[in-house]
Structure 1
Amino acid sequence: MGFGVNKIKGSYKNKLYIFLYSIYYVFAFFMFVLAPTSFHGILPELNQIIISWSILSITILIGIMWFSTFNTGHLIFVLAIFAYLTVITIISNYYDANGRFSLARIAPIVCFLLFTLLNFKINISIRLTKFFVHFFMIIFIIWNYLIIVGNSFIENYTISNYTQLYQEATSNMFIKKRPIMSFGIYTFASLFYFLFFFINKSFWEITRKKIYMIYMILLLVVNVLLVSNTAAIFSLIMAYYIYRSIKKPFFKVLMVILIIISVFLLFANFNLSEYYLESLNSESNGFRGRYTDYGTLNTNLEYIDNYFFIGFNIIDGLTYSDSGYIVYYTMGGILLIITMYFCLYKFLKHNIPNNYLYILIPILIFEIALPVIIYYKFIYASIFFIITMKAIENYRINKSC
């Protein structure tokens, strides 16, 4: 009798545990895709920013304590990085008294380092993951179609609720009708579309349902319309994956022809060739706007030559975006660059061991443009992505048994 009662209690506890894990998954999706980033087109004030990072911190800690295995060695490594940056901050203040310690510098780094402690070991229903993929794609298609055709309601709604980075960043996206959905700027949108592309690719591989191939093609087409150097790179990767995913030679040839025709029509009707050339040659953004002698990042390098790394300080006149590599180098030198990406590598290797390079390499490429791994939506996106990929892998294993 006692064994039976314990079994029932154990079963109930397990169901409750999976239910809470599913809520965690749904919450990550909402914060990644739908949570507003501005109010009436105005960027959040300091107290709202603190609340946002606090919610993210709590989300990460819940994941560590409830849904993840704990790695003491990695925690010690994370604490060592934090201690190193604290020492750098003190030294920086010695060399330049104008440096100001800032939570805006410490919160993203600490949240990212804690986030890399996550090592999810349980699975949710494959049906739930499929539902949210379809749900996202419906939103993706409608929202971006309305942007492309110039719908005023969706333009005002997006600018009002999803302005990011700086005040005019999102509104500028509508000058060329870039299909950014809720992601604020084209660079972030391109990376997040790639994550959903990879999820759909994985579903295609295990189900062979045509809807997932259609989703992959739509994500590729919309990514092309984003018009940026980053979007161009991700579009090439997407096109390659689509080509590899089709097994029959006839359909491979047909797909190549259709993509060539589609790209030709897109470039002809949307002036994409001019936009891409403008992005490539721009001296105010893109690669040249960042990495040349007159680029935005050169100021950081000149400062470090004259002073020291800045740690958690803010120094007026320096750039804190535009390149993950330069941002981390400015804060803590080569050592910080290595440790940040090593932590990212460990996180992906632990959570998706069979696919981590397919995600790690695109992220490392993206970091040339922006320090996305310390962007709070990236962390929510990664939680959603990892849980989805684990559910797909679990389904693949059970299906093959």
Structure 2
Amino acid sequence: MESGINNLKSGNHIKQWKFLPLYYIFVFYMFVLAPTSSGGALPDLNQIIISWLILLVTIFIGVIWFSNINVSQLVLVLNLLGLLMIFTIISNNSDPNARFSIARVAPILSFLILSFVTIKGRVSFKMVKSMIHIFMGIFLIWNFLIIIDSPLIKEFTISNYTQLYEEATSNMFIKKRPIMSFGIYTFASFFYFLFFLICRKLFVATNKKIFLYYQIFLLIANILLVSNTAFVFSFLMAFFVYKGLKTNFLKFLLVLILTGFVFYVFSNLELSNYYLESFNSDKNGFKGRYTESGTLETNLEYLNNFFFIGFNIVDGLTYSDSGYLVYYTMGSLILVLGMYISLYLMFKKNIPKDFYLILIPTLIFELALPVITYYKFMYAIIFFIISYRSIEEINPKTS
């Protein structure tokens, strides 16, 4: 049921949309350039709390100024939060080691509020193009320096963009993976795919080859990330580039170039070994997660003896490696369905004709990591929605 609730816009949409370009630039900065570490050290508790508060304020602005609230979705979100609180209390009573943590509340709460966002305004077409040109300039220079093993970019990246755990980003430089500011190859692969979709949309709208070249550069970087995730997104990118070309000659040329590049990758003993290691590793990839010896087995064993943990933390459990298992561990199948229904509703409202292009890849990525509750994803998806909607509204032929 659609609500008639007015979200404090006081009927003057245009006045508030004047702030959308500033909002757009801010979420781009937080998504792409905001440092995630200092001197290679991860943020302390106070810094983490401030980061999540900034994100929540950003999301609230998106909801209050630029969106309409759907009553049915509000009921779904409130029920999910209530259910998780009940599970938290039961978990505390059934397992004395279970302890309530804001670190489990903040990601779930932020995402569920984010799912209310429905961007109604737009920024200028010129602004979208400018932001993509800026990103691609940074992307090309930064990643080229990583690939040629520049000590300067290595020190800068590890110092300012270490994420998840202390060694995560520094380990990326062992194999010269072009991660830019995104810390690890899995997140980099997904975020490159978001930019790829925007470039694809711009190419259709303008027919300018620069946006085709950008797609190919993003595809090449994805291949060089060398992971199960990168393999899947590389395949999707190659398919979209092929479908977007208008002549058989260009399609043939693309296939020829990609075949040559893939042949180079797999004839390069070092790179081919990295891919084989990624596919066969018992510590990473699908086998490292979903087999009996995988990291997620611990969660399933725990649930055989105890209850769903809600907003609690229990030492020894895995809180990454699979969105599906993390949400199941927290709130059973109900939370799993609730989270992904909210994701579907958000994409369907904001990108009604092309929502599947981002929904399906996101659901695939959730097999690797719970990206939808990662704070950079939330900035990224706001940036993506504003970009995509602005291109579509100004250039209806892209629909």
What TM-score comes out, normalization by structure 2 length? Answer: 0.95
Tell me the secondary structure at the aligned position of residue 234 of structure 1. helix
SS at match of 1:40: coil
8 Å contact kept, 2:76–2:338: no
Deviation at 1:301, TM superposition (A): 0.3
CA-to-aligned-CA distance 1:59-87 (integer Å, 9 cap, x gap) = 01111111112222211211111001000
Note the 1:297-312 alignment, pairs <5 A.
297-312=296-311
Give the corresponding residue for 2:280.
Answer: 281
2:275 corresponds to which letter in structure 1? Y
Distance in 2, matches of 1:14 and 1:361, equals 32
State yes or no: 1:220 paired with 2:230: no
Q: What residue number does 1:162 align with?
A: 161
- Residue of structure 2 in register with 1:326 after alignment: 325
SS of match in other structure, 1:271: helix
CA shift digits 1:181-207 (9 cap, x unpaired): 000000000000000000000111111
89-98 vs 268-277, greater mean Cα deviation: 268-277
By how many angstroms is 1:17 displaced? 2.8
Q: Distance in 2 between matches of 1:302 and 1:287?
A: 19
Distance 1:169 1:254 in 2: 37
1:57 and 2:73 equivalent? Answer: no
* Preserved CA contact (<8 Å) 2:38 2:160: yes
More moved, 263-272 vs 328-337: 263-272
Partner of 1:268: 267
Distance between the aligned counterparts of 1:59 and 1:65, measured in 2? 10
Aligned counterpart, 2:359:
360
Offset of 1:266 from its aligned partner?
3.3
Q: Is the 8 A contact 2:17 2:66 kept in 1?
A: no
Q: How does 1:1-20 map to 2 (within 5 A)?
A: 16-20=15-19
Deviations 1:12-56 (A, max 9, x none): x77653331110110000000000001100000000000000000
- Indicate whether 1:374 and 2:378 are aligned: no
Q: Which amino acid aligns with 1:101?
A: F
Moved more, 47-56 or 71-80: 71-80
Deviation of 1:286 (Å)? 0.9
Report the alpha carbon displacement of residue 270 of structure 1 after superposing the two structures with TM: 6.9
Alignment of 1:88-99 (within 5 A): 88-99=87-98
The residue aligned with 2:43 is 44
The structural deviation recorded for 1:251 is 1.2
Partner Cα separation in structure 2 for residue 77 and residue 108 of structure 1: 17
User: Alignment RMSD, CA only?
Assistant: 1.4
Structure 1 residue 327: deviation in Å?
A: 0.3
Deviations 1:248-271 (A, max 9, x none): 111111110011112222333472
Aligned to 1:32: 31
Per-residue CA shift, 1:127-185, capped at 9, x if unaligned?
A: 11110000000000000000000000000000000000111000000000000000000
* 1:270-322 deviation line (CA, Å, top 9, x unaligned): 72211110011111111111111111110000000111100000001001001
Read off the aligned partner of 2:139 and give its amino acid letter: F
Cα displacement string for residues 327-349 of structure 1 (whole angstroms, at most 9, x for unaligned residues) = 00100111110110000000000
| Distance in 2 (alpha carbons) for counterparts of 1:148 and 1:269 | 15
- 3-state secondary structure, aligned to 1:284: coil
Preserved CA contact (<8 Å) 2:265 2:272: no
2:319, 2:344 → 1: CA distance? 23
3-state SS of 2:265 partner? helix
2:299 and 2:370 mapped to 1: Cα distance?
15
In structure 1, the gaps of 5 or more residues are 1-12
5+ long unaligned stretches in structure 2: 1-11
User: Which one is further off, 297-306 or 247-256?
Assistant: 247-256
Match of 2:9 in 1: none
For 2:395, what is the secondary structure of its paired residue? helix
Give the 5 Å matches for 1:177-196.
Answer: 177-196=176-195
Aligned counterpart, 2:289: 290
| Paired position in structure 2 for 1:7 | none
Partner residue of 1:251? Answer: 250
Distance in 1 between the 2:213 and 2:43 partners? 37
AA aligned opposite 1:302: E
Which residue of the partner structure matches residue 113 of structure 2? 114
After alignment, is 171-180 or 243-252 more displaced? 243-252
Shift of 1:395: 1.4
Measure the CA separation in 1 of the matches of 2:168 and 2:135: 24
Equivalent residue for 2:3?
none
Give secondary structure in 2 for the equivalent of 1:329.
helix
CA contact (8 A) 2:226 2:278 kept: yes
The whole-number CA distance in structure 2 between the counterparts of 1:284 and 1:254 is 38
- Point out the more displaced range, 382-391 or 117-126: 117-126
What percentage of aligned pairs have identical amino acids? 57
Structure 2 counterpart of 1:83, one-letter code:
G
Aligned-pair distance for 1:97?
Answer: 1.4
- The one-character-per-residue Cα deviations of 1:183-233 (angstroms, maximum 9, x if unpaired) are 000000000000000000011111110000000000000000000000000
Structure-1-length-normalised TM-score: 0.95
What is the CA–CA distance in structure 1 between the aligned matches of 2:394 and 2:268, rounded to whole Å? Answer: 42
Q: How many residues align?
A: 388
Q: Are 1:385 and 2:384 matched, yes or no?
A: yes
Partner of 2:5: none
Alignment correspondent of 2:8:
none
Helix, strand or coil: the match of 1:316? coil
